[in-house]
Amino acid sequence: KAGRIAFLGLGHMGLPMAANLVAAGYDVAGYDVVPAAVDAARAAGIPTAESALDAAAGARIVLTMFPSGAHLLRAYLGGPAEPGLLAQADPGTLFLDCSTITVEESREAADAALAAGHRSADAPVSGGVVGAEAGTLTFMVGADEADLPQLMPLLEVMGRKIVHCGGHGAGQAAKICNNMILGASMIVSSEAFVLGEKLGLSHQALFDVISTASGQCWAVTTNCPVPGPVPTSPANRDYRPGFAGALMAKDLGLALAALQSTGVAAEIGPAAAAIYQRYAAGEGATRDFSGIITDIRHASAG
Ligand code: NAD
């Protein structure tokens, strides 16, 4: 099919994404710096390589799914003791980064890839581990038009909705804008439910109004922060994620960096970032981001 794909970063998201590519008949060489992740990938039927450079040797596409932009730039550029992927890959290789990182880092990585004679695309995802396993992720793509014919069939294996947002970094830009709305709307929705409790409203009555009135939003209709109205929401399983507060704090940190570097006069986005940073430093490290309602309720007691 599209030649070999080096799949680097076989964590919570990367492993199931790579498994879907293998199942669709793609020639995948996986690698992760954590040996246990490599073992888990092999057990899931994903062919693995001895190193990132081995995986990338002869690959047409180098796909990365890393925790941060620092990991990405280190892998691309290498260090004093280790050569980077950009210097080692065949000329014209498509470097496809699906990690969530800052717009600046994403553009820096793309510039470095292009300067080394390669091609580059950013395609961060939403949909979480469940979407990665089911192959129903949403991809937000920043890429040259010319690379879309090669990218689309590949992304369609791992995702259901693929949006080409513009040139390099545009995928990251769209992702942080969306998640800034999500974080802020979850906080204010949780405040509204706690206010409703104080005013004697039942969760169901308030949900029935919000979900059909102008306060309607994903935070309420799909990820409702109180148990009951939406049986599949994490609130019904003691806020087991879902989408952990720590990941929301990370994404809002990226949004905050972009707000500051562009000089946008935002007030809600930075407040949401501060609230989720605090949540992620405690229970939110492992609980769903909708568990923020518990903090609001506690702080409102008495
Ligand atoms: P993770 O930490 O489980 O996986 C990342 C993997 O990359 C780790 O196994 C790590 O060992 C590996 N890695 C780091 N440097 C490497 C290198 N040089 N070579 C090979 N492997 C390397 O993280 P995750 O939950 O899979 O998330 C990955 C990315 O996707 C993050 O940027 C995250 O923000 C984003 N994301 C996650 C979710 C989610 O629900 N988990 C949802 C949307 C987006």
ipTM: 0.99
CB 126 within 8 A of CB 182: no
Which token pair is 266? 């935002």
Query: Coil, strand or helix: which one is 206?
Result: helix
Catalytic, 175? Answer: yes
Distance CA 169, CA 179 (A): 16
- Please, where in the chain does CATH 3.40.50.720 lie? 5-167
Whole-model pTM: value is: 0.94
CA of 196 to the centre of ligand 1 (A): 38
DSSP state for residue 83 in the 8-state scheme: B
What pLDDT shows up at residue 36?
Answer: 98
Atom of ligand 1 nearest to the CA of 99: 32
Distance CA 53, CA 31 (A): 9
* Residue 96 CA: distances (Å) to CA of 100, 115, 139: 12, 15, 12
Q: Report the 10 Å Cβ neighbour count for 16.
A: 21
Among 1, 161, 175, 250, the one annotated catalytic: 175
* Residue 180 CA: distances (Å) to CA of 82, 177, 185, 248: 37, 5, 8, 9
What pLDDT shows up at residue 81?
Answer: 87
CB 34 within 8 A of CB 88: no
CA atoms within 13 A on the CB side of 121: 30
228 lines ligand 1 (CB under 6 A): no
CA of 38 to the centre of ligand 1 (A): 13
Closest to 172 in 3D by CA, of 217, 129, 120, 133: 120
CA of 129 to the centre of ligand 1 (A): 11
Strands 119-122 and 125-126: what pairing? Answer: unpaired
Atom of ligand 1 nearest to the CA of 251: 34
Domain 5-167, what fold?
A: Rossmann fold (3.40.50)
What pLDDT shows up at residue 12?
Answer: 92
Which token pair is 282? 């405690």
75 lines ligand 1 (CB under 6 A): yes
Q: Whose CA is nearest to atom 40 of ligand 1?
A: 128
* Residue 149 CA: distances (Å) to CA of 2, 152, 164: 11, 6, 12
What amino acid is encoded at 257 in this protein?
A
- Please, where in the chain does CATH 1.10.1040.10 lie? 174-299
| CATH label, 174-299, candidates 1.10.357.10, 1.10.1040.10, 3.30.70.100, 3.40.50.80 | 1.10.1040.10
CA of 81 to the centre of ligand 1 (A): 24
99 lines ligand 1 (CB under 6 A): yes
**Would you give per-residue pLDDT tens digits along the chain (302 residues)?**
579 999 999 999 999 999 999 999 999 999 999 999 999 999 999 999 999 999 999 999 999 999 999 999 999 999 988 899 999 999 999 999 999 999 999 999 999 999 999 999 999 999 888 899 999 999 999 999 999 999 999 999 999 999 999 999 999 999 999 999 999 999 999 999 999 999 999 999 999 999 999 999 999 999 999 999 999 999 999 999 989 999 999 999 999 999 999 999 999 999 999 999 999 999 999 999 999 999 999 999 97
Distance CA 207, CA 143 (A): 40
